[in-house]
Amino acid sequence: MPLQRRLPKRGFRSPFKKRYSLIHVGDLNRFPKDAVVEPDLLFQSGLTKKGEAIKLLSDGELEHPLTIHVHRVSKAALKKIEDAAGRVEVITS
């Protein structure tokens, strides 16, 4: 049997790939009105893992204004936050 058929087939996983914790807009309703939501606060509330970048997605509705600090945000999520009179600040690091 040829060597390429005898060897196990495994994929490649890049050690440099940036991993994101996905947060939905509806998950942010647990924070009080006009709060500043930062990555440390999201970690303490159990929504993210320590050391992972955060991406905000648009599933759900926001009921009150918040200021949110995340690494990436989708266009639809940004629109929902701004419609609720909130702000999104993108962290660059």
Digits of tens for pLDDT over the chain (93 positions)? Answer: 898 888 888 888 888 988 899 999 999 999 999 999 999 999 999 999 888 899 999 999 999 999 999 999 999 999 999 999 999 999 986
Q: Which domains does the chain have, with CATH numbers?
A: 19-90 (3.100.10.10)
The predicted model scores a pTM of 0.78
Would you put residue 38 in left (φ > 0), alpha (ψ -120 to 50) or beta? beta
CB 74 within 8 A of CB 88: no
